[in-house]
Amino acid sequence: MSMAHDQTHDDAPKRAQRDDKDGDYAIVGRSVLINRPRSELFAYWRDFTKLPTFMHAVESVAIGDGERSTWTIKAPAGQHVTLETELVDVIENEAIGWRSTEHSQIKTTGHVTFTDAPAGRGTIVTAEIAYEPPGGDVGRLIAKLFQAEPNIQARHELKRFKQLMEAGEVATGAYTNSTDGEV
């Protein structure tokens, strides 16, 4: 589906929305405006162990030696994938960049930037991820059917990050009975 026909609202300026291919890599880019200071958003994202709080597919992140970390990611059909990453670009309160290592089951790179929005309206967070879809184009189609395709995930994860940072929690569709707190 082209971005022109995508009916899902995205706070991103059109120049920041991206769903493209570069060789074997698919490229996804999304932006969201969050009404919080840039330094606060950067600090939260920079602590990769907090990524599972808003990245639905990320089950856990273990920090390793130096700038490396190991991510356990849910995959379609109840499977799990291990993603080993290393930081390649960190500019305090501005940008975080990472890439998968040779030990990773998925080849990927990612870059998140944090820029002040005009008129003191918060921070624009832009995430751009390039990945080699397991199974090529067929694997990407299957992932899309399970809503595990990174273009869909990126949009949802940035929305959850916005909710978490602005409201202190991620909204769910679960009903809570106000008298006893049970779902």
Between residues 49 and 22, which one has the greater pLDDT? Answer: 49
> Considering the domain boundaries, does residue 157 fall inside one?
yes
Query: Whose structure tokens read 């067929």?
Result: 138
Q: Are 170 and 134 in contact (CB under 8 A)?
A: no
Task: Please write the tens of the pLDDT for every residue from 145-180.
Answer: 444 556 677 788 899 999 999 999 888 766 655 555
User: Which residues on neighbouring strands pair with residue 89, listed in sequence order?
Assistant: 97
Q: How confident is residue 140, by pLDDT bands cut at 50, 70 and 90?
A: low
> Considering the domain boundaries, does residue 70 fall inside one?
no
**21-51: b (≥16 Cβ within 10 Å) or e:** eeeeebbbbbbbebebbbeebbebbeebeeb
| Total domains present in the chain | 1
Average pLDDT, integer, range 98-119: 92
Give the domain extent around 94.
8-47+87-167
> Considering the domain boundaries, does residue 176 fall inside one?
no
* CATH (domain of 119): 3.30.530.20
- Give the pTM: 0.74
> Considering the domain boundaries, does residue 24 fall inside one?
yes
> Considering the domain boundaries, does residue 39 fall inside one?
yes
Tokens of 77: 């059909």
> Considering the domain boundaries, does residue 175 fall inside one?
no
Q: From residue 58, how far is each of 45, 55, 74 by CA, in Å?
A: 13, 5, 6
> Considering the domain boundaries, does residue 79 fall inside one?
no
The helix/strand/coil state of 71 is strand
> Considering the domain boundaries, does residue 173 fall inside one?
no
